[in-house]
Amino acid sequence: MYKVLVTDSISESGLMPLYEHPNYEVDRYDQLPFDKLFSIIGSYDALVVRSQTNVTKELMDHAPRLRIIARAGVGVDNIDVEAATKKGIIVINAPGGNTVAATEHTLAMLLALARKIPHAHQSTIHGNWERKKYQGIELYGKTLGIIGMGKIGTEVAKRAKSFQMNILGYDPYLKEDRANKLGITKASLDEIAEHADFITIHTPLIKETKGLINKSYIQKMKKGARIINCARGGIIDENALLAGLQSGKIAGAALDVFEQEPPANFTLLHHPNVIVTPHLGASTEEAQEKVALEVSAEIINICENQTIRSAVNMPQITGESQARMQPYLQIGEQMAGIAIQLLKTAPEKIQISYSGELLDEDTSLLTRSIIKGVLSHHLSDSVNLINAFHLLREQGVPYQIQKEASNKGFSNYMELTLYKNGEKVSVAATVLIGLGARIVNINDYRIDLKPEKHLLYIKHYDIPGMIGRVGSILGDHNVNIGTMQVGRSTVGGEAIMILTLDKKIDDPVDLQLQSIQGIKETQILELTSGYNSLQETSL
Ligand SMILES: NC(=O)C1=CN([C@@H]2O[C@H](COP(=O)(O)OP(=O)(O)OC[C@H]3O[C@@H](n4cnc5c(N)ncnc54)[C@H](O)[C@@H]3O)[C@@H](O)[C@H]2O)C=CC1
Ligand SMILES: O=C(O)CCC(=O)C(=O)O
């Protein structure tokens, strides 16, 4: 049974998949004081929030069971994603569920600002009839500058075009051909400042966007321009905005988001040319249901051992690519499990090379899987796909990824080499179409091994009778051999033997094997069961 804690006001119908699933127990609180949250979080596997609950490192320190933090919305700035990553907690969000709601709210703000609707409403209900005072301006023929041409910025552009506005878009990822297709003009930030009558912001709040609209940017803006922020507080410097409004440089501002929420300083909010809403961009019945359904489905998806479709702190790869990579993830982790056991200690350097078909694949998840396989031998359950790189950095182990042209005769090929004190261990694997995954090379010996849980690795001299002697000792101890692979460098020279066994052999059997003349070394290897990398990150 997975325990899910829901804080903030999340749509009931959107949580229905969790309520109705027999494996989930859901506790929900709309407003949970911090001390209460800290005292109960320890017993939950997943936490679902909107933007109100601050999910801090301290909160996570009180949450040993927590494996998923779900944000029913887009922005995750109320979640310490870095702390979650270090702890191996998956952070998910609902990236598309509230796009339409936030877009429509932006357009509502645009129109309300142009026609002074909120102030006119207030005046009229108080018995005034101030038709001259509340004369507005038209959108028709005006220039709208959109900063941030992601999901919401793009939808705003499409709708603003129907008002016959000229649209300038700025986004580091906006390409000329996409701008052309949308019927907008790709522009720089300065071009937007110079030409826009209205500017609307749709970026995340990140280092580069904090204070993006500041005193110097406002100085560059067209006199009488109006500005809308339905993205994140802090992208506009509120003091600079207030100064701009007071000087008349800025004719109006519509704000849904604030540096501090709820705001404590009302000077800006009380300015006669400012209209505000209390972070309502995503607040429609439809959007709230959609984002809650999205995160509920993803929690179930992760917990029921399917793949992670998208996580904020994992590389984003498409479902199609993830499906293609699935067999590689498993063999990659098994390859790492064999290599680290053969090295017998922690590595001081890791090298991974990919070739053949893997040259065209997104191998970011595979690399995580391999690193996880290496680290989990010493760090066990504390390592998962989320925190693998962080833990590697913490251990101070450098790693190198190579993409190599030579595929060593396989259509796809990956090799892991671990280094320590001048020694190295290398293990290579491939996925054979129709036959499955195989370990195909260990320390330059060619083999063909389908990994199993119990393995026995033997280094020996290539002399007659070796296979029979090993087989009979194991048989005498009732140990069944699944498969046996032998690889040799030269006839009569050094060789390796690797066996899959139905059960673990104990030390006396191992000692007996070591006493066989011609055997240099034996090693009992164990691969943890399952080895499905994605499953390992689930609860
Ligand atoms: N007021 C509300 O209730 C809501 C607010 N939001 C916020 O709206 C914002 C946009 O959301 P989406 O469009 O869904 O996100 P998105 O990720 O689809 O788009 C963000 C875009 O910003 C661009 N960007 C990043 N840095 C930039 C920079 N320095 N200059 C210009 N562009 C930059 C990115 O390239 C990306 O295209 C986010 O901050 C989100 O949290 C989203 C939904 C509701
Ligand atoms: O949950 C909310 O209402 C806030 C939505 C939001 O700001 C976001 O999704 O980024």
Residue minimizing CA distance to atom 3 of ligand 2? 282
Residue 199 within any structural domain of the chain: yes
Helices then strands, counting H and E runs in the chain, come out as 18, 22
Q: What is the pLDDT of residues 470-503, one digit of tens each?
A: 999 999 999 999 999 999 888 889 999 999 999 9
- Top-confidence residue, 72 or 404: 72
Specify whether the CB–CB gap between 441 and 415 falls below 8 A: yes
Residue 25 sits in the same domain as residue 166: no
Residue 470 sits in the same domain as residue 341: no
* pLDDT, mean of residues 256-265: 95
Q: What is the pLDDT of residue 465?
A: 92
* pLDDT, mean of residues 153-173: 96
Predicted confidence band of residue 433 (pLDDT cuts 50, 70, 90): confident
Alpha helices in 162-284 (DSSP H): 176-182, 189-195, 215-220, 238-247
Q: Please report, for the domain that includes residue 383, its CATH number.
A: 3.30.1330.90
Does the active-site annotation cover 226? no
Q: Please report, for the domain that includes residue 521, its CATH number.
A: 3.30.70.260
What is the model's pTM? 0.81
Q: What is the pLDDT of residues 111-130, one digit of tens each?
A: 999 999 999 999 999 999 99
Output the CA angle 175-179-181, nearest 5 degrees. 120
Report the atom number in ligand 1 closest to the C-alpha of 102. Answer: 44
Q: What is the pLDDT of residue 32?
A: 85
Specify whether the CB–CB gap between 114 and 136 falls below 8 A: yes
Q: What is the pLDDT of residue 193?
A: 98
Residue minimizing CA distance to atom 30 of ligand 1? 171
Predicted confidence band of residue 254 (pLDDT cuts 50, 70, 90): very high
How far apart, in Å, are the Cα atoms of 105 and each of 19, 282, 315, 459? 30, 8, 31, 69
List the catalytic residue out of 226, 232, 368, 438. 232
Output the CA angle 455-456-462, nearest 5 degrees. 135
Residue 342 sits in the same domain as residue 294: no
Domain end residue (candidates: 421, 436, 451): 451
> How many angstroms separate the alpha carbon of residue 198 from the centre of ligand 1?
18
* pLDDT, mean of residues 432-459: 93
Residue 539 within any structural domain of the chain: no
539 pLDDT exceeds 60?
Answer: no
Residue 538 within any structural domain of the chain: no
* Average pLDDT value over all residues in the chain: 93
Torsions phi, psi for 26 (to 5 deg): -110, 125
Give kind and range of the element (H or E) at residue 4.
strand 2-6
Alpha helices in 79-116 (DSSP H): 81-87, 99-115
Q: What is the pLDDT of residue 257?
A: 98
Alpha helices in 344-456 (DSSP H): 364-379, 388-395
> b/e per residue, 410-439, with b = 16+ CB within 10 A?
bebbbbbbbbeeeeebbbbbbbeeeeebbb
Predicted confidence band of residue 73 (pLDDT cuts 50, 70, 90): very high
Residue 268 sits in the same domain as residue 223: yes
Residue 83 sits in the same domain as residue 103: no
Residue 532 within any structural domain of the chain: no
Does the active-site annotation cover 261? yes
Rounded Cα distance, 88 and 67, in Å: 7
Q: What is the pLDDT of residue 324?
A: 84
Does residue 282 have its Cβ closer than 6 Å to ligand 2? yes
Residue 132 sits in the same domain as residue 238: yes
Residue minimizing CA distance to atom 23 of ligand 1? 148
Residue 269 sits in the same domain as residue 120: yes
Residue 12 within any structural domain of the chain: yes
Does residue 505 have its Cβ closer than 6 Å to ligand 1? no
Residue 378 sits in the same domain as residue 433: yes
> How many angstroms separate the alpha carbon of residue 78 from the centre of ligand 2?
10
Does residue 118 have its Cβ closer than 6 Å to ligand 2? no
Rounded Cα distance, 503 and 454, in Å: 6
Q: What is the pLDDT of residue 184?
A: 98
Q: What is the pLDDT of residue 315?
A: 75
Specify whether the CB–CB gap between 373 and 332 falls below 8 A: yes
Residue 422 within any structural domain of the chain: yes
Residue 127 sits in the same domain as residue 271: yes
* pLDDT, mean of residues 417-430: 96
Residue 150 sits in the same domain as residue 177: yes
Predicted confidence band of residue 319 (pLDDT cuts 50, 70, 90): low
State CA 443 to chain mean position distance. Answer: 34
Does residue 487 have its Cβ closer than 6 Å to ligand 1? no
Q: What is the pLDDT of residue 535?
A: 37
533 pLDDT exceeds 60?
Answer: no
Residue 30 within any structural domain of the chain: yes
Residue 173 sits in the same domain as residue 123: yes
- Ligand 1, from 91, 202, 259, 294: best to mutate by most atoms within 8 Å of Cβ? 202
Among 123-132, 139-148, 162-171, 485-494, the range scoring the smallest mean pLDDT is 485-494
Which of these, 72, 66, 70, 56, lies nearest to 88 by C-alpha position? Answer: 66
Q: What is the pLDDT of residue 407?
A: 77
Which of these, 234, 177, 224, 172, lies nearest to 199 by C-alpha position? Answer: 224
Domain end residue (candidates: 451, 472, 506): 451
Q: How many domains does the chain have?
A: 4
How far apart, in Å, are the Cα atoms of 289 and each of 23, 52, 280, 355? 21, 17, 15, 45
318 pLDDT exceeds 90?
Answer: no
Q: Please report, for the domain that includes residue 121, its CATH number.
A: 3.40.50.720
For 408-411, the CB contacts below 8 A with 24+ separation are: 408/355, 408/441, 410/356, 410/440, 411/356, 411/357
Does residue 51 have its Cβ closer than 6 Å to ligand 2? yes
Does residue 278 have a cis bond before it (omega within 30 degrees)? Answer: no
330 pLDDT exceeds 70?
Answer: yes
* pLDDT, mean of residues 75-82: 92
Rounded Cα distance, 430 and 433, in Å: 10
Specify whether the CB–CB gap between 496 and 458 falls below 8 A: yes
Among 156-170, 226-240, 369-383, 422-436, the range scoring the smallest mean pLDDT is 369-383
Residue 108 within any structural domain of the chain: yes
Q: What is the pLDDT of residue 321?
A: 77
Residue 243 sits in the same domain as residue 290: no
Q: What is the pLDDT of residue 325?
A: 86
Does the active-site annotation cover 119? no
Q: What is the pLDDT of residue 306?
A: 56
Rounded Cα distance, 315 and 162, in Å: 37
Q: What is the pLDDT of residue 534?
A: 37
- Domain, as residue range, for 337: 315-451
